[in-house]
Amino acid sequence: MKGALSNLPRGWQCKPLKFVATYNDEVLSENTDPATEIEYIEISDVALTDGLKRTEKIEFDQAPSRARRVVRSDDILISTVRTYLKAISNVSNAAPNLIASTGFCVIRPGDEVDATFLGWVAKSEPFVGEVVSRSVGVSYPAINAGELVGIDVPLPPIEIQKRISDFLDEKTTQIDGLIEKKRALLDRLAEKRQALITQAVTKGLDPNAPMKDSGIGWLGKVPDEWKIKPLRFLGRFQNGISIGGDSFGSGFPFVNYSDVYKNISLPKFGSGLVESTEKDRFLYSVKRGDIFFTRTSETIEDIAISSVCETTIDDAVFAGFLIRCRPYPEILDVGYSKYYFRNSSLRDYFVKEMNLVTRASLGQTLLGKLLVLLPPLDTQKHISSYLDAKLNDLAMVEEDGKKAIQLLNEYRAALIASAVTGKLDGLR
C-alpha cells in the first residue's frame, strides 16, 4: 500500500495497522459447554462487496475445530487464507456468541481510529492488493496475521475519518442499489431464456398445432406429430476415461467436467491436455453431435447437466466424471439436442428418479430411461434456428448488463481507494 500512501494530504499520518488496532484478542475456550450455541462465520460467509452475508447457528461440540475467534461489534474480519477471495467485512451489532474461523484475522480498532473508516481502508484496493501480494502459496495462498497487521494504513484526523465513512456509506449504498437492479435484470433474462427453451422443445413453435397428452407428468401435452422415445434407443453410451493425475498437463485435448457443466455447447478445443493413447482417443473420442452429461456431483441439481459437441475435437478424450451419448444417424439435430437436454423440465425427472446417498451419481441405465421428445428432423432444425436467434438477442442484453455491473464495481473500488487515501476534494 506504500505507493498509494506516498502523497497523503497535510495532517494525515501513515501507520502500520497494528499501531491503531489490536488483533485476535479473544479465543473461545476449549472448555466451553458443548451445548453452547454459537453463530459461526466461515470464509465463504464473507465477501468484499456484500460484507457478512450469513452465519450458521451451531452447538459448540458440533462446530469445526477452527471455530475459535471471538467477534465483537465494530471488529473487522480479514481472511488470512485463500486471500484471493478477498473475504473482508466490518461487523456491526454482533450477536453475543459470534465466532469466526481461525482463517480470519479479527481486527479490533483502537481509540484513535473510527471503526467504520478502518473497515473501508481494509476493503480498499491498495490494502487488499498488499494482502494478496504478501500471501504465500499457489493453490492455497495465505498470510500470517502478524504480517498482515504490519501493512501501513492512512490515518487522517478523526473528524475526517468520520466524514469519509459517512460519504462512503452513502455513495456505496447508491452504487450497490444500481448493481442489484442490474443483477435482478440478469436473473429475469436467465428465467426468460430457460422459459423460451422449455416452451420450444416441449410445445413446439406452432401455437395452433394439435396436441396430445404425453402421459408423463413433467411433459404434459405435446404436439401430436412428435414421438417420445427413451434415450437408450437414440444412441450409445460411454463413460469417460479413467487416468492417473500425472498424465495431465501435456499431450492431447481433454474435455473436463467444467467444459460440460458451464457450456451449453463444448468449447472447440477442450480446456486441458492429457497423455492419452491411440486406443483411448478412439474409445473416448469427441465428435460432432455427441451429447455429454455430468455423471457425479454433491447434489442432484448438478447431475445430468448436458453439453453438445457442435464441432469435432480431433484427438480429444473426455473425463471419467462424464457420460457420452453418441446419437444414431438422422435422429437428433445437433442444435435441437443442445437445447432439449438443457431444458429445465428434465430436472424434475432426475430429481424424482435419482437416489441421493452421500454423493449423487448418474448411471447409464437411468440416463437411458430419459424420455426424449422427437419432432420431425426438419422441425428440430427449425426450433434450433429459432432459439439461436432469440437467445442471441438475450445474450446481447445480458452482455450489456454484465459490463454495466463490472463498470459499477470498478467505480466503487476506485471511489473507496480515492476517499481513504485523501484523493477526493472535500474529504481531506
d(CA 111, CA 408) in angstroms, rounded, equals 34
Query: Do 227-374 and 3-155 have the same topology in CATH?
Result: yes
- Residues 115-125: what's their mean pLDDT? 96
Q: Spelled out in words, what is the top-level CATH class assigned to the domain 3-155?
A: alpha beta
Does domain 227-374 match CATH 3.10.620.30? no
Whether 428 has a pLDDT exceeding 70, the answer reads: no
pLDDT 10s digits, 297-317: 777 778 889 999 999 999 999
The region of weakest confidence among 145-149, 212-216, 290-294 is 212-216
pLDDT above 70 covers a percentage of the chain that reads 97
Question: Cell triple for residue 296?
Answer: 457425479
Report the 10 Å Cβ neighbour count for 393.
9
pLDDT 10s digits, 172-182: 999 999 999 99
pLDDT for res 357: 47
Whether 359 has a pLDDT exceeding 80, the answer reads: no
Residue that wins the pLDDT comparison between 349 and 17: 17
pLDDT 10s digits, 2-24: 666 778 999 999 999 999 999 99
pLDDT 10s digits, 37-60: 999 999 999 999 889 999 999 999
DSSP letters for 52-93: E---EEEEGGGS-TTEEEE--TT-EEEE-BSGGG--EEE--S
d(CA 127, CA 148) in angstroms, rounded, equals 10
Spans of all domains in the chain:
3-155, 227-374
pLDDT for res 3: 61
Start-to-end CA distance of the chain, whole Å, equals 19
Burial of 94 (0-12, 13-18, 19+ CB in 10 A): middle
The region of weakest confidence among 39-43, 185-189, 223-227, 270-274 is 270-274
pLDDT for res 4: 64
pLDDT for res 245: 78
pLDDT for res 301: 76
Q: Can you say whether the dihedral through the CA atoms of 172, 44, 305, 319 is positive or negative? A: positive
